[in-house]
Amino acid sequence: MLSRIFSGTTVGLEGVLIEVETDVASRGFPSFTIVGLPDKSIDEAKDRVRSAINNSNLPMPDAKITINLATADIPKIGSSFDPPIAIGILAASEIIKENNLRDLFLLANSLLKEKFVKSQEFAHCPDGERKKY
Q: Where are the beta strands (DSSP E) in the chain?
A: 2-11, 14-25, 31-35, 64-70, 122-124, 130-132
Bridge partners (DSSP) of residue 22 are 3, 67
C-alpha gyration radius of the chain: 14
- Count of the separate structural domains present in the chain: 1
In this predicted structure, the answer to whether residue 14 has a pLDDT above a threshold of 70 is: yes
Q: Contact 101/129 with Cβ under 8 angstroms?
A: no
- The larger pLDDT score, comparing residue 105 to residue 51, is at 51
Q: What is d(CA 9, CA 127) in angstroms, rounded to the nearest whole number?
A: 21
Predicted confidence at residue 93, as pLDDT, reads: 94
Range of the domain at 14: 2-132
Q: What is the CATH number of the domain that holds 84?
A: 3.30.230.10
Amino acid at 40: K
In this predicted structure, the answer to whether residue 120 has a pLDDT above a threshold of 50 is: no
